[in-house]
Amino acid sequence: MAIELATEYGKVYITEEVIAVLAGSAALDCYGLVGMASRNQFKDGIAELLRRDNLSRGVEVRKDAQGALTIDLYIVVSYGTKISVVAHNVQTKVKYVLSEVVGLAVESVNIYVQGVRVAQ
């Protein structure tokens, strides 16, 4: 299902996959974030770290009846960083990119920390 934006020149349709890729890309710019994790629950107790070409798999986009978006991000953070600060930075960056750059009404950005990775 696509999100519809009405402009003075016509309508623009943006698919949820494009929104997911934009949100994942914006999140990866934040300090302390190692990568996106799979939305699937843990398999054998290990979170699957996704490569850059699989950003949309770590993001879930939902649209309510009023048209506002809810974004769920499944992330892996770096060891030694404060998780609450990293999560807040990711929320702020994703909401800014989708609201200001794309023009979408974002209701909330939910963060699910799926794991912690030690830097090598």
For 10-40, how does the pLDDT look when each residue is reduced to its tens digit (9 = 90+)?
998 988 889 998 999 999 889 998 888 876 6
Q: What is the rounded distance in angstroms from the CA atom of residue 4 to the CA atom of residue 2?
A: 6
pLDDT for position 52: 52
Q: 51 pLDDT band (50/70/90 cuts)?
A: low
For 85-117, how does the pLDDT look when each residue is reduced to its tens digit (9 = 90+)?
999 999 999 999 999 888 888 999 999 998 888
Tell me which DSSP letter residue 43 carries: B
User: Are residues 77 and 33 in contact, defined by beta-carbon separation less than 8 angstroms?
Assistant: yes
pTM for this one?
0.81
Instruction: Determine the topology of domain 2-117 in CATH.
Output: Alpha-Beta Plaits (3.30.70)
Q: What is the rounded distance in angstroms from the CA atom of residue 39 to the CA atom of residue 92?
A: 21
Q: What is the rounded distance in angstroms from the CA atom of residue 110 to the CA atom of residue 90?
A: 10
Q: What is the rounded distance in angstroms from the CA atom of residue 26 to the CA atom of residue 8?
A: 28
Query: Hunting for tokens 């699910």 — which residue is that?
Result: 112
Report CA Rg, the chain.
15
Chain centre distance of CA 56 = 8
Q: What is the rounded distance in angstroms from the CA atom of residue 95 to the CA atom of residue 15?
A: 17
Tokens of 45: 């107790």
Q: What is the mean pLDDT of the chain?
A: 83
Q: 44 pLDDT band (50/70/90 cuts)?
A: very low
Per domain, the residue ranges of the chain are 2-117
